[in-house]
Amino acid sequence: MIKKLVVGLLIGISTFKAYANQPVVYPVNWWVGMKTNKLQLLFKSTDTTFSKGTISTKYPGVSVLGSQTFENGKYLAVDIEIESHTQPGNVDFIYSRDNAQSHISWLLKTRKSIPGKDFAQGISTADLVYLILPDRFSNGDTTNDRVSGMRDQSLNRADYYARHGGDFKGVIKHLDYLQDLGVSALWMTPVMENDMPNRTEHGYAITNHYKIDARYGGNDGYRALSDSLHRRNMKLVQDAVYNHTGTWHVLVQDLPAKDWLNQWPEYTSTSAREQALFDPYASQIDKKRMSSGWFVKEMPDWNQRNANVANFIIENAIWYIEEFGVDAIRLDTYMYNDLEFGNKCNAAIMNEYPQISLFGEMMVQQTPNQAFFVQNNINNAFTSNLPGAVDFVTLFNGLIPSLTQEQGWGTGIIHLYNVLSQDFLYKDPTRNVVLLDNHDLNRFFSVVKGDLAKQKIAYTWLLTTRGIPQLYYGSEVLMAGEIKPDGLVRLDFPGGWNNDSKNAFTGKGMSADEVAMQQLVKKLGTYRKNSSALKSGKLMQFTPKDGLYVYFRYNDQQTIMCVLNASDKPRKLDFSYFNERTNGFSRAKNIIEGTDIRFNDATEIPAHQEWVLELYK
């Protein structure tokens, strides 16, 4: 009898072991105490018959609710629920098949930080965001310039399309510089693994949603950067790509099912005509082409109408926020996403993190087109829940024509006034992120044809207007470049590499104009940190006349008068005309020049200049 019992135990032990082909589980881990406690785990095995088994667990507080198979037998989707009392630890999932059982371990972590306090804080008009391409800012660790086994082994700073070696350590090394500019939030282009054969410097062709690119410093490096920012009371903005992925993505290379991607008989690109999504007369094919066409051939388009795909993307979005302490999310190519998916994903994130900020990229030309994709006051069949946008319209339709056209009744600076007057379409236009340039646009210094005075006006406006200002790395030291014909808008930051002949961090080799521009940004950026009117005040603008545009930022504590002369002649200021805001004040301090101004008829602002005046009684 004892012999039989021992034999039986040995058989039991031999059939209850770690799974031979240990599957990858997505998400790779989770946390106890999350509002998001119902998950769909995707198990991916190398075994083509893996889906013939079942998954169960006896872990206290974790229940398996059901499972789903796919065309591809390597996958199982398992729905689980994590109860509120569940303790952290390694969840033992039991894989059963053919009267045998094996173990698959999955980690439940303890939440180490408090959302809304330590991370997921959101960004606001009080912040100043700095956008970096991490490959092009600073090389702080040469040992990760090339990573063995990755497809792209390029490393050539002379080749614009190759990798240059910038990384997280390089960014951490220069956080003092960013703070000296007044920067309080860092946004980098995507940092997830991009294991593509070439053109990996930009980061938008993700190949593994749960790995940070090792050439930047990997998961540990990203966590170190996040911690470094938070120790300085700075914030981390993540660039998230939900619409598409890279052709070498671990799932795309071995799809669970064909309907995980938007498939076409032959390659079909998006039309990039967002009008089809709100046009009352639009055809169905135009709507489909807009949302389901591929961004480019190398970036397959996720079918977000597929519930499994939606679950995979949403859970990953939440995982990143929790794992790395993300404070805000910039949503890449937002207008190409399925509209209902966008709302679902936003709702899930904001439910878990009520204070987080979300702002989407919609590179459109008109205010109604942009407002359609965010929380708005438009009566339409579709209502977006996205809080904010990257405000391309104010740039394209406002600032650029204001500084590049002749000044006239219907030209020049009136465009800036006009575009801001359309803010009534937004629920909250202050959640929009305003900019002069970014990695997809001409550098603003090139837009104004190298005109230093106009560059100074542009930055002065950026740091005093409504919304959340965003700087693009290097434009504060007059980096130039255009998308066409050469595309040189993503060059290396001067001084980010050892032995650079010019160093914008130290001033070495910089021209007088470059230093002057940098100093202006530092002065206004620093002033802005302590200016309640600029950080959270209201905006009042007056109709421009003869190229002179006056607007105010104000609250009960402070009044800032901004005077922008876009004309080629000096203009007199009649302070009495602006008495709705100047009444009770008799003098002002010019924040940029440091001079005092008395309100009188002799006050005159020179051509092509903007003043920032703090008013006093």
Q: Which residues are catalytically annotated?
A: 332, 361
Token output for 214? 């090792």
Structure tokens at 112: 């180490």
**HSE (side-chain half, CA atoms, 13 Å) at 69:** 12
φ, ψ for residue 85 (rounded to 5)? -90, 0
Q: What angle do CA 97, 98, 104 make, to 5 degrees?
A: 25
Q: CA–CA separation, 463 vs 525, rounded Å? A: 7
Q: What is the largest CA-CA distance in the chain?
A: 112
**Cβ neighbours of residue 205 under 8 Å, at least 6 residues apart?**
194, 196, 199, 245, 246, 247, 248, 298, 299
Task: Report the C-alpha gap between 167 and 93 in whole angstroms.
Answer: 37
In whole angstroms, what is the distance from residue 566 CA to residue 211 CA?
48
Separation between Cα atoms, residue 271 and residue 236, nearest integer Å: 33
One-letter amino acid at 452 equals L
Find, among 306, 242, 299, the residue nearest to 268 by Cα. 299
Q: Which of 195, 192, 191 is nearest to 150 (CA)?
A: 195
- How far is the C-alpha of 541 from the C-alpha of 562, rounded, in Å? 9
Sign of torsion over alpha carbons 480, 486, 487, 491: negative
| Cβ atoms of residues 459 and 520 within 8 Å | yes
Where helices occur in 110-232 by DSSP H, the ranges are 168-173, 175-180, 218-231
Distance from C-alpha of 348 to C-alpha of 35, rounded to nearest angstrom: 10
Q: And the tokens for 60?
A: 């206290």
Count Cβ neighbours within 10 Å for each residue of 554-567 and write b for 16 or more, e otherwise: beeebbbbbbbbbb
3-state helix, strand, coil in the chain (%, to 5): 30, 25, 45
The CB density around residue 1, as the number of other CB atoms within 10 Å, is 5
Q: Is 509 helix (H, G, I), strand (E, B) or coil?
A: coil
The verdict on whether omega for the bond into residue 27 sits within 30 degrees of 0, i.e. cis, is yes
Q: How far is CA 21 from CA 57, 106, 248, 273, 602, in A?
A: 19, 15, 22, 46, 83
Helix (H) or strand (E) holding 433: strand 433-435
And the tokens for 65? Answer: 């609710």
d(CA 523, CA 371): 33
Terminal C-alpha separation, the chain: 101
